[in-house]
Amino acid sequence: MGSASPQTSQFWPSGWYLRHVLSSRDVEELLAERGIEVDHVSIYRWVQTFTPLLIDAARTRRHGGGDHWSVDGTYLRVSRRWMYLDRAVDQFAQVINVVLSDKRDLPAARRFSEEALSHSSRPAEINTDRAARPSSTSCYPTPATSATNTPTIEWSPTTPGPSSS
């Protein structure tokens, strides 16, 4: 692969594989077009080797946790059982927390909130989806409606959050 070091020569195809929706055979063809003969199995091994390094490099470029979160929930089938999926995303579209649970109840909501707060600082605002929560789940606060009719829950620094115990 020219005068580049072997590690650099293996690093870039791994990045192509991860960054773009390419298979190892696609990357093999891209390299072949550039006159570089490499087997797709070698590319797969490079990806396994360099993925942790690429993840660490990308992590330093991420934004810090945002102070405006969007929280939504849905249900889906997992192994023929209905499960509830709750997700929190900040204004930079970074996932704060995802929790899959059997039930939509107080312990599940507390676990979701505590995990989300442990990964990031307390948000100034939480936007929720418009879906009504079942009446048996009093753990979900009733959203206040803003001027744009978007449900929001506002936390101030003096408002106590979930306990960390």
Q: Is 40 helix (H, G, I), strand (E, B) or coil?
A: helix
- How confident is the model at residue 130, as a pLDDT? 63
pLDDT category of residue 39 using cuts at 50, 70 and 90: very high
pLDDT at 147 over 60: no
pLDDT category of residue 146 using cuts at 50, 70 and 90: very low
> How far lies 122's CA from each of 1, 53, 67, 69, 84, in Å?
49, 30, 7, 10, 24
pLDDT digits (tens, 9 = 90+) for 81-134: 999 999 988 888 888 888 899 988 888 888 898 888 887 778 888 888 765 554
Least confident of 10-14, 24-28, 90-94: 10-14
Residue in this structure with the two tokens 């009719």, named with its chain if needed? 149
| 106 vs 116: CA distance, rounded Å | 15
Name the most confidently modeled range: 14-18, 137-141, 151-155. Answer: 14-18
pLDDT at 140 over 70: no
With 0-12 / 13-18 / 19 or more C-beta atoms within 10 angstroms meaning exposed / middle / buried, residue 88 is: buried
Angle at 64 between CA 152 and CA 98, to 5 degrees: 60
